[in-house]
Amino acid sequence: MSDKGLLKRFLILIVSFGVFNSLIATYQFFAFKSFGLQFIGEPVLSFLPGISKVAFPGTILIRGYGLFSHPNILGAYLFLCVMISIFFIEKIVLTSPKLKIIKLLFAELSLILCVFGLMVSFSRSAIIVSVISLAIFFYFLFFQKKENNPAKLRKSETWVGIFSIVFSIFIVSFVLGDIILPRFQGLVGSEAFIDRIKYSQMALDVIEKNPALGIGIGSGVSYFLKNNIYSMFGFNNFWQFEPVHNLYLIIALEIGIFGLFFFLLFIFNLLIMISKLIFKKSDNKLEPILCLSILVGNLTLGIFDHYFWDSSSGILIFWTAITISLSIIFSNRQRKMQDIIS
């Protein structure tokens, strides 16, 4: 099987798991309880402290977890699935002469379910990042220069993807609009936003004292507790003893400025390689544009949370996106070498 065939199956597997988690999360949200899949990792949900909820006038709702340990991690995974679903829709329109309508219906259904799951996770960062990444994706599809893309998508074909996402949002908004919109009101002044600023300030204070090598991987929470830093910033409840909600600060905190530098150097080089594939003269633009959109989205998510660093599922999500990007980069290099040899 070719590298492209393996990548396609891998992406289908990712979306399929996302659809499954969306269905589980939807049940959790409407039933106010777990589905009963604890044997494969579903958390036990109830209205006990520690379970993530969202307030709505007259009631309290449980956020959808799927099989993940937190709704924000579910949101990050479904962001990835939404982007891949849109990619498949554009790919089907461009390259699938056979069974195009059936494939489009399956891709559209997957998109709707993943968008619905994303919304019932109530992950504001994942929802905002999805909007940003979709804008990047469609911008590059629309405004690729003709000389750089001989097989440029016609605008009518690109509009299929835009219509698909708008249609999905319309359906979800019809069901959940009155619940989701209040979630974004007063976001900047919310308690969660203020707490994140405090966590960041805690990290900056410690980084200033341990700039070069940090305090050790996985030592952030224990260091804050041992040195009474949580109480200094007004965090006295056990559920407030959390890591820094910023990927870049937590890297600098735990492995130092040098560790952060090499991490950012790796990411920067990856973005450069993906950008070169987008701007070079080529018929193959969809895959690099997908990679750039996902990478920018994940890097933005890293500003608001820590699960890409200290959660096993979060780490898998982040490095899955990296793996997809590297796969496409090396696939293009291999194709280039074959062209040179032939």
pLDDT for residue 265 is more than 70: yes
Q: How confident is the model at residue 105 (pLDDT cuts 50, 70, 90)?
A: confident
Q: Which one has a higher pLDDT value, 152 or 248?
A: 248
Nearest to 254 by CA among 216, 292, 200: 216
Tell me phi and psi for residue 284, to 5 degrees.
Answer: -105, 95
Q: How confident is the model at residue 153 (pLDDT cuts 50, 70, 90)?
A: low
Can you give the pLDDT at residue 99?
64
Can you give the pLDDT at residue 181?
74
d(CA 62, CA 51): 8
Task: Give CB contacts under 8 A, 24+ apart, made by 230-239.
Answer: 230/202, 233/198, 233/199, 233/201, 233/202, 234/198, 235/195, 235/198, 239/49, 239/50
The answer, as to whether pTM is greater than 0.85, is yes
The mean per-residue pLDDT over the stretch 271-294 comes to 86
pLDDT, one tens digit per residue, over 117-132 is 999 999 999 999 999 9
d(CA 195, CA 202): 11
Q: How confident is the model at residue 73 (pLDDT cuts 50, 70, 90)?
A: very high
* Token digits of residue 182: 């209040």
Q: What is the mean pLDDT of the chain?
A: 85
pLDDT, one tens digit per residue, over 30-66 is 988 899 898 888 898 877 777 888 877 777 888 999 9
Q: How confident is the model at residue 204 (pLDDT cuts 50, 70, 90)?
A: very high
The mean per-residue pLDDT over the stretch 93-114 comes to 81
Percent of the chain with pLDDT over 90: 46
